[in-house]
Structure 1
Amino acid sequence: MALPPAAPQRQLKHRRSIDVAVYARGDGLWEVDARLTDVKTRDYPLAGSVRLAGEPVHDMTLRLVVNEQLDILEAGAITEGMPYPGHCDAHGHAYARLVGLNLFKNFRQAVKERLGGIQGCTHLTEMTQVLPTAVIQAFAGEVLDTQESGAAASDNPPFQLDRCHALRSDGEAVRLFYPRWYRPPAGPVISVDDPERVTP
């Protein structure tokens, strides 16, 4: 696998950054801070004025408080950089509607129902879609048992199995690292590199 080659003369015009930080609070709860910024490398006419190069077009933060069962207990958002001041930041407490959702149970669909379209901010709502896997990463090895040794003591496989192509229960990675949970392929396996090629 390789990236398409970068053009030697390419010029950066825009950068969107999404940063997700997850903090243990020490009281059994966790805080999730997700921040999105959009920055252009040129002066940019916007809403009757000019946004200078390097000055964020968007700068917004969403914070969740979650428990170890991935339930959202508190939620809110703030928009500090925006195209339309007084309008973009007028979503009020819309993101409090995330309270009561669970990051691991139909979260993405529930967010669209509660905050899709004109109910929220396009960018904040889109950013929520990366939060389940980010929090799972933070919980891995601390809240969630990801090791064969821990799962061996129970009848439940490590939570990450069968959630991606690399960790499918009939795959080589599971055979090597989680042998208790390995299940031989039921039929021919289609090669990832060549969908036309079937291996026995």
Structure 2
Amino acid sequence: MPLSPPAARQHYHTRQIQCEGFLRDDGLWDIEASITDTKGYPVSFYDGRQLPEGEPLHLMHVRLTLSDQYEIVAVEAATTHSPYTICPEIAASYQRLVGLRIGPGFNRKVRELFKGRDGCTHITELLGPMATVAFQTVSSGLRKREAPQPAVGPRTTAQARLLARLIDSCHGWRSDGEPVRVQFPEHYTGDTP
């Protein structure tokens, strides 16, 4: 169900975040993201520059290249638009992500590495959604590589690990819900219909 019609209002800010996941020909995974901020009014910068309404105030891009084990093997970050001319200088700092593994504690480590003046708020903010997209991309890609499995029945080790993360991770995957009852009856905790 969509939201109800809004009250009369004036547009002030739009933030768009886009994340995509790709399997590379060399077997690695690329997770790419961008963040774009625009204003619904013209902006004047401290140095006299003017930004017309709807033009990007912020536009940052990140590419993480991952192994099958979610280890970051390469990073590229870029700032295309920013309010300050020094902002693009910080992009090279994100090379510190190389060698980290996306998994438990990843977001905490990112906050430690890039807090305050050691990072860009916008680039750092992209890394959380990118971690989610990495799991969705790599886990589904690894399942596609394996021999097809029945909807119910024996599972590979990779499928079992994924299942353990999904059960009770959200309302749709609750252990007493219909999707778990049908697809993973051995983990179903609700009443049998």
Give the Cα–Cα distance (whole angstroms) in 2 for the partners of residues 111 and 150 of structure 1.
38
Give the number of the structure with larger relative contact order, counting CA–CA contacts within 8 Å between residues 6 or more apart. 2
* TM norm structure 1: 0.80
Give the Cα–Cα distance (whole angstroms) in 2 for the partners of residues 53 and 153 of structure 1.
53
Query: In the alignment, residue 177 of structure 1 is paired with which amino acid?
Result: Q
Give the Cα–Cα distance (whole angstroms) in 1 for the partners of residues 46 and 84 of structure 2.
7
Segment drifting more, 118-127 vs 149-158: 149-158
Q: Does the CA contact (< 8 Å) of 1:17 and 1:38 recur in 2?
A: yes
The residue that corresponds to 2:185 in the other structure is: 179
The residue that corresponds to 1:137 in the other structure is: 136
Aligned residues: 183
Seen in structure 2, the aligned counterparts of structure 1 residues 115 and 108 have a Cα distance that, compared at 3 Å, is: same
Q: Secondary structure at the match of 1:141?
A: helix
Q: Secondary structure at the match of 1:31?
A: strand
The residue that corresponds to 2:118 in the other structure is: 119
Seen in structure 2, the aligned counterparts of structure 1 residues 180 and 116 have a Cα distance that, compared at 3 Å, is: same
Query: In the alignment, residue 161 of structure 1 is paired with which amino acid?
Result: I
Q: Secondary structure at the match of 1:91?
A: helix
Gaps of 5+ in 1: 186-200
Q: Does the CA contact (< 8 Å) of 1:152 and 1:180 recur in 2?
A: no
Q: Secondary structure at the match of 1:93?
A: helix
Give the Cα–Cα distance (whole angstroms) in 1 for the partners of residues 152 and 138 of structure 2.
15
The residue that corresponds to 1:195 in the other structure is: none
Name which of 151, 154, 174 aligns with 1:152: 154
Dislocated runs of 4+, deviation >6 Å: none
What's the % identity of the aligned pairs? 34
Seen in structure 2, the aligned counterparts of structure 1 residues 65 and 55 have a Cα distance that, compared at 3 Å, is: same
Instruction: Note the C-alpha offset of 1:148.
Output: 6.3
RMSD: 2.5
More helix by share: 2
Instruction: Note the C-alpha offset of 1:104.
Output: 1.7
Instruction: Note the C-alpha offset of 1:144.
Output: 4.0
